[in-house]
Amino acid sequence: MPVSPRTQSVRSICPRLSHQDLTRKAKQEQARLRLVSIVEQQRGLRLNATLDELVQRHIALMSGATTTKNGYKGYHRNHISPLIGHHPLGTITAETIDEFYSELARCREHCSADPTTTPADASHECRPLSAASIRKIHFLLTAAYRSAMRWHWTTHNPATLASPPPKPRPRPQPPTPAEVTRILIHAWAQPDPMLGVATWTAIATGARRGELCALRWTSFDADRGVLHIRASVAHDGYGLVVKDTKLHQDREIALDRDTVALLVSYRDHCRRQATAHGTTLAQNGFIFSPAPDGSVCLAPASLGQRFHRLVASQGIKTTLHKLRHYNATELILANINLRTVAGRLGHLDCSTTLTTYTAWINEADQRASTQLVERLPLRLGIAPQHRRHAVPPPLPRSISAHIAQELRAAIIDRTYRPGQHLPTTQQLAAHYRVAASTVHHAVTQLAHWNLVTTTPGHPITVHPNPPTSIPEPATAIPPLTPPRPSRQAHHDRLHRHHTRRSQRQPHVAGNVRTGHSLQRRAA
């Protein structure tokens, strides 16, 4: 036990008494009885345990995944122990913990705040610890002090009075469709098709990195076209372990025909590779494995490093996890039910999906309202006979694309000259009467076209040498779904429909039907 076995003592100093108070003997008796009660109840003892001893004991006895415990051990070793771990429990207050959080937010390496540094430290640049990491340390301290109260090590929990940083707002940054196309083209060009298949599977399923590495051939049902995600691969500090998924929930993801055909073809390739190495592919082998027989899973860090080298060679700043964001945002923009999206991603409920992808949900809502009106054959306040042969102009794919096209035209015709600042996001949102997130997507598309430069905290600036044409990918990837019929063909069918209705014979009751209105024939 971390507590010293020697006898602990408690004492109380009675204040100086005046003649108006009770007698000194009565006051001393009250103090003695109070101390005896404290000792009997084993509460309030100022034990010699330090915060280091408490945190180590709490982590050793806590119930949780091995990866969670290893993460807490890292926070204790790198941050808690060097700064406040040597303090006794009774001397730590909420102010002490707030100063600790402030130091972590200043520099994660706990360098001296003195501006005078030695030549060896001249290259050091302070980097703050992220708000998410500080909040995890706060949760660790709060739980450790709660355990100390149960174990009668202390009577209070100062961590509950401390002020950790607020929860950071989710800011997913998925790659654009053009970037995903470039990534897939160069992934297929690799000598080993494993990276290309893993990248495609991540895009099609939205699985996490560890879940991809834990996929086995028994998890793939080609006849039903589904993929079962039951486990995840992680590093426990000593080696790779196969554990439950992040939220301890199994899920079944439906696959499209192209993904099913790709996995079947890749399985045949793995069987040929195993035969060439004098072995056979295990029926329960891992889909992504460095071993020919599939007996060893691929390390998540190794898969992430391969993907990083692939995208870095193309000048694309993204990660393998952001393909999961791409999957989610594309499903939301396609007006897929939010519950379905949450189920495919493995979220506990829709609230996580709603909080993380709020900007894309707002844009999808605007697109849904526009498409609903566009599907109506008539407009309110317009007579049917004036709309009978009218064909509306084609609309852009989304509101953000429409805004991006207008701003692009203004940049090309020099309405906004090179180096000039564009209006702010709030001004553009008020002008187009849309949400600020929609304007943000439009500006992101302009930056992808090299028409503007964006820097956090600075205005949107027109590129010094903006191109006059939008770059297209070098090679096109066949679409997973058949192309939608053009809007012009839809309106041609609508025109023929109204023409046939206008040539109908008069109704037996003397009325002629036109659209949704009835016109009485003159007698």
**Which residue intervals of 206-321 are DSSP H helices?**
209-213, 257-276, 300-313
Any idea which fold 177-340 has?
hpI Integrase; Chain A (1.10.443)
| Residues whose CB is less than 8 angstroms from the CB of residue 218 and which lie 6 or more positions away in sequence, other chains included | 283, 284
Which run of H or E residues covers position 82? Answer: helix 81-83
Q: Report the candidate in 170, 162, 118 with the shortest Cα–Cα distance to residue 139.
A: 162
pLDDT tens for the 523 residues of the chain, in order: 343 434 445 555 555 555 555 566 777 777 777 777 766 555 545 567 899 999 999 999 998 888 888 899 999 999 999 999 999 988 899 999 999 999 999 998 888 766 655 555 667 788 899 999 999 999 999 999 999 989 888 888 999 999 999 988 888 888 998 999 999 999 988 888 999 999 999 999 999 999 999 999 999 999 999 999 999 998 877 788 888 888 888 899 999 999 999 999 999 999 999 999 999 999 999 999 999 999 999 999 999 999 999 999 999 999 999 999 998 888 888 878 888 888 888 887 787 787 788 766 676 666 666 665 565 554 444 444 434 443 344 445 578 888 888 888 888 888 888 888 888 888 888 888 888 888 888 888 888 888 888 877 778 888 887 776 655 443 333 333 344 445 555 555 545 544 444 444 443 333 333 333 333 333 3
> What's the angle, vertex CA 32, arms to CA 29 and CA 36, rounded to 5?
140
CA 479/CA 498 separation, integer angstroms: 34
Distances (CA, A) of 455 to 6, 43, 373, 429, 439: 62, 56, 37, 19, 15
* Cα separation values, 360 from 148, 326, 328, 429, Å: 45, 11, 9, 15
Delimit the domains of the chain by residue range. 51-112+127-161, 177-340, 399-462, 487-520
CB 288 within 8 Å of CB 212: yes
210-228: buried (b, 16+ CB within 10 Å) or exposed (e) per residue?
bbbbbbbbebbeeeeeebe
CATH architecture of 399-462: Orthogonal Bundle (1.10)
Q: Which two tokens stand for residue 337?
A: 């039910």
State the DSSP code for 480: S
- CATH class for the region spanning 51-112+127-161: mainly alpha
CA-to-CA dists, residue 338 to 79, 199, 247, angstroms: 40, 24, 19
Q: Is the pTM of this model over 0.85?
A: no
Question: Is the alpha carbon torsion for 371, 377, 381, 382 positive or negative?
Answer: positive
For residues 412 and 433, is the Cβ–Cβ distance under 8 A?
A: no
Determine the Cα–Cα distance for residues 121 and 164; give it in Å rounded to an integer.
Answer: 29
Beta bridge partners of 243: 232
**What is the residue whose two structure tokens read 């498409």?**
371
| Type and span of the H or E element at 96 | helix 94-106
Q: CA of 71: how far to CAs of 53, 77, 208, 235, 236, in Å?
A: 17, 10, 19, 11, 9
* Residue pointed to by tokens 């991603």: 345
* Listed residue (163, 4, 137, 130) closest to 77, CA to CA: 137
Q: What is the pLDDT of residue 41?
A: 56
Which residues does 482 contact at the CB level (< 8 Å), separation at least 6?
none
298 DSSP 8-state letter: P
CA–CA distance, 192 with 333 (Å, rounded to integer):
33
